[in-house]
Amino acid sequence: MKQIIAIGGGGFGRVIKDLKIEKYIRSQSSKDNPKICFIPTATGDDSSYIENFYKAFDSLGCKTSHIDFFKRTINLRPHILDQDIIYVGGGNTKSMLAVWKEWELDIILNEAYENNIIMSGVSAGAICWFKKGITDSWKDSQATIDCLGFVDGICCPHYDEEPERIPYVKKILEANEISECYGIEGYAALHLIDNKPRYNVSFKKDTSCHHIFLVNNKVHHKNIDGTIEVDL
C-alpha cells in the first residue's frame, strides 16, 4: 500500500507539544520502532529544525536519521530504501527540488514510494509529491511549479494561513491555468492511499482539506470525505 501524508502547516517545526500529527504518521507503520528519515533540504538543513525532528520522533520510539546536503552527504539510495517513513520539511520548494535532482534523490524517492515506504511532509514537504504545487519560493509572489509527480493533481499548503493563497488559487482556476486543486489548511493533512485522496486528517479543531474546482465559472470547495480528528 502506497501512502502520502501531506501536511498543510504545523507540527514539530513550529512547536513540540502534543505531537498529534507526528503520532498519526508514526501509527501508519506496522513496525514497533519504525525507521524515519528527515529531509530538511528546503531550509538549507537548518540545525534547529533537525534538532526538533529528533526530539519529536525519538520521543515516539522511532529510529531516527536525517540527510544533509550542505555537509558531507551519505550514500543516499541504501539509506532511503532502508526506511519505513520519509518526512520532508518545509521551506523553499524550488531550491529543494533543484538540489534533489542534482543528487538524483527524486529518482530514489520514487523507488522508495513504489516499495511502499510512507512519504510525508509539511508545506514544501507536502506539495513535492504532487504533479504541481503552489509555492511562495519567490519572495513577493505565489507561483505554480512542477514537482515530483508521484500523484496527479495540484496542491496548495497553508490554504487558510497565508492571505495570498486563496486569491491565487481562485485566479488561476478562473484563468483556466488549472482545472482543480487540493487546498490543505494549517493543522490539517491530506492522507493519500494508493495515489488517491482518502482522509482529511485534522489535528486542530475545524481544520480541513479541500478539493477546489470550477462549476459554471464559479469556484467550489468540497471537503475531502473521510475526516479523521486526531487525538492520539
Sequence spans of domains, the chain: 3-229
Marked catalytic residue, from 120, 158, 191, 208 = 158
Q: How many beta carbons lie within 10 A of that of residue 47, not counting itself?
A: 10
Q: How many beta carbons lie within 10 A of that of residue 142, not counting itself?
A: 18
> Could you confirm whether 221 is annotated as catalytic?
no
Q: What gap in Å lies between CA 174 and CA 192, rounded to an integer? A: 26
The answer to whether the pTM exceeds 0.75 is: yes
Marked catalytic residue, from 29, 123, 137, 208 = 123
Contact predicate 34/23, CB 8 Å: no
Contact predicate 198/191, CB 8 Å: yes
Residue 76, C-alpha cell as written in the block: 543516499
**In the block, residue with C-alpha cell 483556466:** 176
**In the block, residue with C-alpha cell 496527479:** 152
Give per-residue pLDDT as tens, 84-137: 999 999 999 999 999 999 999 999 999 999 999 999 999 999 999 999 999 978
Q: Are strands 227-229 and 196-202 parallel, antiparallel or unpaired?
A: parallel
Coil, strand or helix at 156: strand
> Could you confirm whether 123 is annotated as catalytic?
yes
The per-residue pLDDT for 199 is 94
Q: What gap in Å lies between CA 128 and CA 95, rounded to an integer? A: 12
Q: Are strands 196-202 and 188-193 parallel, antiparallel or unpaired?
A: antiparallel
**In the block, residue with C-alpha cell 509572489:** 141
pLDDT in tens, the chain (232 residues): 999 999 999 998 777 778 999 999 999 999 999 999 999 999 999 999 999 999 999 999 999 999 999 998 999 999 999 999 999 999 999 999 999 999 999 999 999 999 999 999 999 999 999 999 999 787 777 889 999 999 999 999 999 988 889 999 999 999 999 889 999 999 999 999 999 999 999 999 889 999 999 888 888 888 887 777 766 4
The per-residue pLDDT for 24 is 96
**In the block, residue with C-alpha cell 514537482:** 147
Q: What gap in Å lies between CA 48 and CA 42, rounded to an integer? A: 13
The per-residue pLDDT for 231 is 63
Q: What gap in Å lies between CA 89 and CA 52, rounded to an integer? A: 11
The per-residue pLDDT for 232 is 43
Contact predicate 211/225, CB 8 Å: no
Q: What gap in Å lies between CA 53 and CA 164, rounded to an integer? A: 28
Residue 149 sits at φ, ψ, to 5 deg, of 75, 25
Residue 1, C-alpha cell as written in the block: 500500500
CATH topology of domain 3-229: Rossmann fold (3.40.50)
Residue 115, C-alpha cell as written in the block: 516499495
Q: What gap in Å lies between CA 202 and CA 10, rounded to an integer? A: 11
Q: What gap in Å lies between CA 98 and CA 167, rounded to an integer? A: 27
The per-residue pLDDT for 158 is 95
